[in-house]
Amino acid sequence: MSEHDDAARRAVPEELERALAAEVSLRSRMRHVAVGLAGGCGAALITVLWVTEPHPLPARTQAAFAALIAVGLAWAAFAGWVLSRRRPLFARDRVLGARLALAVSVGTCAAGTALAATRGTTAEILATALTGGVLIAAAGLLLARAHARRRELLRLRDTLRDSAA
């Protein structure tokens, strides 16, 4: 049995072995636990705040609370999905997380800029739009890097499969 394990271990390229070990490491899993807890706790806190309001909130505030709760639950669901997997995801989690970050950044930028346009000065509108643009650009960069990392890992996996066949 150990001879088979040793042969399989030698067949795995060192680079792929290191990359996959980092994906399933305790540190990586703890990061996802933190993301899940942050999202779930944030959603729970906003829900409690909303439910315990003595008077009905304005429609815009209700919409904002609902959106924030949805974002928190999305991050919690994402973390739960990643943690429920018992095998390497080949950076699929990074791609999904970056897509989620990009969607939230776009929504936040649009809502913030619209709110600034109705209530703020030109400088405030520009500052909000610029900040949102920087967040969107950062999320877009993370998405591009996640796609590149996934392609790299899949290429290594396919090379391994071809050499084993």
23 pLDDT more than 90: no
Say what the pLDDT of residue 71 is.
98
- Taking residues 86-91, report their average pLDDT: 80
What integer best gives the mean pLDDT of the chain? 89
Amino acid, res. 42 = G
- Taking residues 35-55, report their average pLDDT: 97
The count of domains in the chain is 1
**pTM score, whole prediction:** 0.81
13 pLDDT more than 80: no
- pLDDT, greater one: 18 or 4: 18
Structural domain for 125, as ranges: 2-164
- Taking residues 128-149, report their average pLDDT: 97
Report d(CA 132, CA 146) in Å as an integer: 21
- pLDDT, greater one: 138 or 89: 138
Say what the pLDDT of residue 1 is.
45
